[in-house]
Amino acid sequence: MMLGKTAGGLFWMFRYLERAENTARLLEAGWHIALTRSEGDSNEWQSIITTAGMNDAYLEKYDSYDAAQVINFMLRDKDNPSSVMTAITAARNNGRLVRTALSSEVWEATNECWMVLKDLLSRPVTERAMHDILTQIRFRTSVVRGALHGTMLRNDIFAFARLGTFIERADNTARIMDVKYYVLLPSAAFVGSSIDNAQWEVILRSVSAERSYRWLSGGESGPASIANFLILDSRMPRSLAFCAKKIGENLGHLEKEYASRQESNVQVDALCHRINSQTVDTIFEDGLHEFLSSFIADNAKLAGHIEEDFRFYG
């Protein structure tokens, strides 16, 4: 069995890389949704901080949700453990710890990602420059992911890297949907309205799913259809169903390789069953917010079991 410290380094390296990209996606989604609002207040910036789970840390430094402050807090603030620069630095540090387990291409892509973003984020980011910088963040993290897929053996090293990716990605998709529907939407009276539909479409763009959704939906759109796509469609690589399936597959690979079934295997089987037994109608009937909040909690619990089962800190 791989040393727990190495397994943890791989898991967190790719979890942090995914977090950096997801933070950029969350910021972009909130920014675009703000453009669809008829009122020019700052609620959208507060919602971004709330969704990232960083409200307390933010309010320790600032007393208002100013656009410039939120952008820089999410992208480059060293005191924010979820900021892009903090996450990229943590990914690189973990990569250095497990460098002998990585191909040279993966390490070089990670190091270059850190160097480029360090330069881009060395100065305060304006709203005008934000789009180009967010594009660079997504591109650089995708290069690392591509190097992993193109050069690494499909063994336990690969499995731990992918576990970190999909645990983080599942959390992000759930959070970005939750903030849209329950924080950014101005009022329950807007459900089903043109502004509601426009904001759902922005969410699709934020997870790079707009074109694939159009292919499958035939051009029709609506909250239930889009929620079904993002939660239950296992063909969509950022859906909750897809992420849960991939977590299960990678844990299954480790179960086979180590000839040992862990509590995390049991937990992911239960999570997959829960998702696969749902329909979008039952999710909306029971409450989308309640479903997403429960999923986020279960996903975090699963991550904790993975850390314990494979002795990341033992």
Whether 210 maps to a domain, the answer reads yes
pLDDT at 186: 47
Q: Does residue 314 lie in a domain region? A: no
Q: How many domains does the chain have?
A: 1
For 141-185, give the secondary structure using H, E and C: HHHHHHHHHHHCCCCHHHHHHHHHHHHHHHHHHHHHHHHHHHHHC
Which pLDDT score is estimated for 277? 95
pLDDT at residue 224 in the model: 81
Entry pTM:
0.90
Identify the domain containing residue 195 by its residue range: 4-309
Q: Average pLDDT over the chain, rounded to whole?
A: 88
Q: Do 201 and 180 touch, CB atoms closer than 8 A?
A: no
| Assigned domain for 131 exists | yes
Distance from C-alpha of 10 to C-alpha of 172, rounded to nearest angstrom? 19
Residue 188 has pLDDT above 50, yes or no: no
138 lies in a domain? yes
Give yes or no for residue 300 having a pLDDT over 60.
yes
For 44, list phi and psi in degrees, rounded to 5: -65, -35
In this structure, is residue 158 part of a structural domain?
A: yes
